[in-house]
């Protein structure tokens, strides 16, 4: 996780400006801080790339809270501390035979950090990490502890889940669980873009979770990773070719992923070892990148990919890698998948902010015809007016913030600039 007390985010790109930093151990302590503060925000594991987690007055870290994971095996639900990381949570679920439907590319992030920014993994039929939330407990602006559930608050609940941290200090979530499952990941090399254009639906329907990794410098994606469900530890057979791509033997696949994967290629492993891509254990790789990601309605993918390809010369000096993933539709107001199946085009930048800053407007202009929406936890250029166009529920969310927190206790510069306008 890095240094939880550092004054900057994971990548070192954003500095935090809070005058006071707290590590509360109880809900009562949080309530006291909220009641006496003029501005308060929570910091999760610091993995967002912009100022979304900053506060100029009080900043809380909830990793020291004295709370436990409670599993309701009958109803297949877990009530979890908001500040728990997936690294801590997943083994507890696995021990009781349960799983989450999806995970991001890494497990180091907190549940609240992931849920409030609609963090996602990949899978045509799988929603982002916020979609498994069925209950949210939070300390509201007047210091009260309030609870919202999908069942009891159907009108407002979809607005409360992806909150960008602007509605209150979340203390606990209730998450829907599924029975634990096994996933086998297999790697293929050089899938032609022509095949991706023609068969994206079939390619991505062929496994539980699918990721394409292009450098954009060739007329093929250099890597395709298929994560298929397996019913036993017996390896699934892997075709030698797949839509024009060649299968990579497991050892070569491990090297191609720079040894950063938790689970072996070519044989089944638990869901929480196989769904994330990265263990990020090498200190020299920690924080050594910046990221942006844009989501598009799935039907716009082919044209959007062509638009990005046309920028390959601009991309070459600043890009470390890219990933294309699918996310299933949901009903969460500030989720990019609200009401539509989407595809995310993700950019892992080299740490060359001067060049990236100049390039982002060009990239956004190229993707604008395809209704591209930025990831709120990553770097983007567009402002409030453009965000209102691509996030149709933004106005409702804005109203919700103004009603529930009229004094702006949970605002920060990010919320004021991008959401309140
Ligand atoms: C290496 C790397 C890989 C990544 N991979 C993915 C990926 O696969 N998919 C993807 O979608 N994103 C990915 N991200 C982005 C990341 O998942 C999001 O930025 C996420 O928000 C980070 O969670 P965090 O715990 O670090 O939260 P932070 O970045 O610390 O905070 C995020 C937001 O959550 C709020 N928050 C946190 N806790 C609370 C709380 N208790 N109450 C109220 N608000 C709270 C903060 O105020 C802030 O607004 C990646 C980032 C990195 C650095």
Give the tens place of pLDDT for each residue, 35-55: 999 999 999 999 999 999 999
Strand ranges across the sheet with 40-43: 20-22, 58-61, 40-43
Nearest atom, ligand 1, residue 42 CA:
47
Angstrom distance (rounded) from CA 153 to CA 26: 26
- Digit-coded pLDDT (tens) for 249-302: 988 888 877 767 777 899 999 999 999 988 766 555 678 899 999 999 999 999
pLDDT attached to residue 345: 98
Percent of the chain with pLDDT over 70: 97
Among 132-146, 230-244, 261-275, 288-302, the range scoring the smallest mean pLDDT is 261-275
Task: Report the phi/psi class of residue 32: left, alpha or beta, with left for phi > 0 and alpha for psi in -120 to 50.
Answer: alpha
What confidence category does residue 196 fall into, taking pLDDT thresholds of 50, 70 and 90? very high
Answer for the pair 374, 139: CB distance below 8 angstroms, yes or no: no
Q: Residue 210 falls within a domain, yes or no?
A: yes
pLDDT attached to residue 50: 97
List CB contacts of 350: < 8 A, sequence separation 6 or more.
289, 290, 317, 318, 319, 320
Residue 26: beta bridge partners? none
pLDDT attached to residue 281: 62
Angstrom distance (rounded) from CA 43 to CA 69: 20
Task: Residue 278: give its domain's CATH number.
Answer: 3.30.70.2530
Q: How many angstroms does the Cα of residue 185 sit away from the middle of ligand 1?
A: 25
From residue 294, alpha-carbon distances to 336, 338, 344, 345, 372 in Å are: 9, 14, 6, 5, 6
From residue 78, alpha-carbon distances to 52, 88, 93, 208, 213 in Å are: 27, 14, 8, 23, 33
Would the CB of 332 count as within 6 Å of ligand 1? no
State the Cα angle at 213 between 207 and 215, rounded to 5°: 160
Nearest atom, ligand 1, residue 110 CA:
25
Would the CB of 65 count as within 6 Å of ligand 1? no
Q: How many angstroms does the Cα of residue 110 sit away from the middle of ligand 1?
A: 7
What are the backbone dihedrals phi and psi of residue 326, each rounded to the nearest 5 degrees, phi first?
A: -105, 150
Nearest atom, ligand 1, residue 344 CA:
11
Q: What is the 3-state secondary structure (H, E, C) of 209-235?
A: EEEEECCCCCCEEEEEEEEEEECCCCC
Q: Residue 34 falls within a domain, yes or no?
A: no
227: pLDDT strictly greater than 50: yes
145: pLDDT strictly greater than 50: yes
pLDDT attached to residue 285: 62
pLDDT attached to residue 395: 98
Alpha helices in 135-242 (DSSP H): 157-160, 193-205
Q: How many domains does the chain have?
A: 1
Q: Residue 69 falls within a domain, yes or no?
A: no
From residue 22, alpha-carbon distances to 9, 34, 320 in Å are: 17, 11, 35
Would the CB of 115 count as within 6 Å of ligand 1? no
Average pLDDT, the chain: 95
Residue nearest to atom 34 of ligand 1 (CA): 113
Q: How would you classify the pairing of strands 169-176 and 178-179?
A: unpaired
pLDDT attached to residue 2: 42
Please give the structure tokens belonging to residue 397: 């969310």
SS3 state of residue 383: coil
Please give the structure tokens belonging to residue 103: 């995970």
pLDDT attached to residue 254: 83
Q: Residue 271 falls within a domain, yes or no?
A: yes
Angstrom distance (rounded) from CA 51 to CA 12: 11
Angstrom distance (rounded) from CA 214 to CA 229: 24
Average pLDDT over residues 212-236: 97
Q: Residue 237 falls within a domain, yes or no?
A: yes
Q: Residue 216 falls within a domain, yes or no?
A: yes
Domain assignment of residue 265, given as a range: 182-283
pLDDT attached to residue 399: 98
Percent of the chain with pLDDT over 90: 91
Q: Residue 111 falls within a domain, yes or no?
A: no
What confidence category does residue 1 fall into, taking pLDDT thresholds of 50, 70 and 90? very low
pLDDT attached to residue 259: 64
Question: For the chain, how big is the Rg over CA atoms in Å?
Answer: 21
Q: Residue 265 falls within a domain, yes or no?
A: yes
List CB contacts of 236: < 8 A, sequence separation 6 or more.
184, 186, 228, 230, 268
180: pLDDT strictly greater than 80: yes
Q: How would you classify the pairing of strands 319-327 and 342-349?
A: antiparallel
Average pLDDT over residues 109-125: 98
Q: How would you classify the pairing of strands 241-242 and 245-247?
A: antiparallel
Q: Which of 118, 157, 134, 120 is nearest to 335 (CA)?
A: 118
């Amino acid at each position: 996780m890095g240094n939880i007390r550092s004054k900057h985010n994971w990548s070192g790109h954003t500095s935090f400006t809070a005058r006071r930093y707290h590590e509360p151990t109880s809900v009562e302590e949080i309530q006291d801080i909220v009641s006496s503060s003029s501005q308060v925000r929570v910091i999760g594991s610091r993995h967002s790339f912009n100022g979304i987690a900053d506060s100029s007055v009080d900043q809380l870290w909830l990793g020291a809270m004295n709370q436990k994971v409670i599993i309701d095996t009958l109803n297949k639900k877990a009530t979890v501390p908001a500040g728990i990381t997936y690294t801590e949570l997943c083994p507890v679920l696995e021990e009781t035979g349960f799983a989450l439907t999806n995970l991001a590319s890494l497990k180091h992030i907190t549940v609240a950090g992931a849920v409030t920014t609609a963090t996602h993994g990949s899978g045509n039929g799988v929603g982002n990490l916020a979609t498994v939330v069925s209950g949210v407990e939070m300390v509201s602006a007047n210091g009260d502890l309030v609870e919202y559930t999908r069942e009891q608050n159907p009108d407002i609940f979809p607005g409360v889940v992806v909150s960008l941290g602007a509605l209150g200090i979340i203390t606990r979530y209730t998450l829907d669980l599924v029975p634990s499952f096994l996933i086998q990941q297999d790697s293929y090399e050089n899938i032609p873009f022509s095949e991706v254009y023609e068969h994206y639906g079939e390619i991505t329907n062929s496994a539980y979770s699918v990721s394409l990794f292009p450098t954009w410098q060739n007329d093929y994606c250099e890597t395709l990773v298929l994560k298929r469900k397996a019913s036993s530890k017996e390896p699934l057979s892997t075709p030698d070719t797949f839509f024009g791509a060649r299968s990579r033997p497991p050892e070569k696949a491990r090297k191609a992923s720079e040894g950063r994967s938790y689970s072996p290629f070519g044989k089944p492993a638990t869901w929480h070892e196989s769904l994330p891509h990265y263990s990020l254990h090498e200190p020299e790789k920690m924080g050594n990148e910046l990221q942006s990601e844009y989501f598009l309605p799935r039907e716009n993918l082919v044209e959007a990919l062509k638009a990005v390809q046309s920028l390959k010369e601009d991309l070459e000096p600043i890009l470390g890698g890219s990933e294309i993933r699918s996310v299933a539709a949901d009903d969460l107001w500030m989720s990019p998948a609200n009401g539509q199946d989407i595809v995310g085009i993700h950019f892992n930048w080299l740490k060359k902010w001067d060049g990236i800053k100049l390039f982002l407007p060009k990239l956004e202009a190229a993707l604008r015809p395809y209704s591209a929406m930025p990831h709120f936890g990553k770097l983007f250029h567009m402002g409030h007016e453009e965000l209102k166009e691509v996030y149709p529920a933004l106005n409702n969310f804005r109203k919700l913030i103004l009603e529930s927190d009229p004094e702006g206790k949970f605002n920060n510069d990010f919320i004021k600039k991008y959401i309140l306008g």
